[in-house]
Structure 1
């Protein structure tokens, strides 16, 4: 089970990956200064895991351009819908 999927598009930017790791290690420093070593170790472990997943095993995927949707050239779909026979008030097609 992976907690961080390094192939997710949110992690493509370098500043996002650096920020996540920096926040984890920064919080570990805050906990050490505050005198709570348990949470400092937990935060440092999260930072180490984030570093491993986002830098060590990270393989950047090439940016693929999304295909642009082409508008209908003939507009036949709209014509088919409007040319369908409509039933009259007595239930028979006109």
Structure 2
């Protein structure tokens, strides 16, 4: 079982993939602003993981 399945029907619209990628990066910015750098790095890493799987390495499933 994958941690994040990019072929799930929820991620078919591009705006949802970009929103899921942007949310952890935005929260990392909030944590960095509040000088909580460990949390900022953690959420930036989560955002990077989502960026890789949902945007950069995304291959649409041709079922439809």
Look up the match of 1:28: 28
Correspondence 1:1-94 to 2 at 5 A: 2-64=2-64
TM-score (norm 2): 0.91
User: With structure 1 as the length reference, what TM-score do the two structures score?
Assistant: 0.64
RMSD over aligned Cα atoms:
1.2
Larger radius of gyration between Structure 1 and Structure 2? 1
Quote the Cα distance in structure 2 between the aligned partners of 1:33 and 1:3.
29
User: Could you tell me how far apart the structure 2 residues matched to 1:33 and 1:2 are?
Assistant: 32
Moved over 4 A (4+): none
Which structure shows the higher helix fraction? Answer: 2
Asked which structure has the greater RCO (Cα within 8 Å, sep 6+), the reply is: 2
Gapped runs of 5+ residues in structure 2?
Answer: none
Where do 5+ consecutive residues of structure 1 fail to align? 65-94
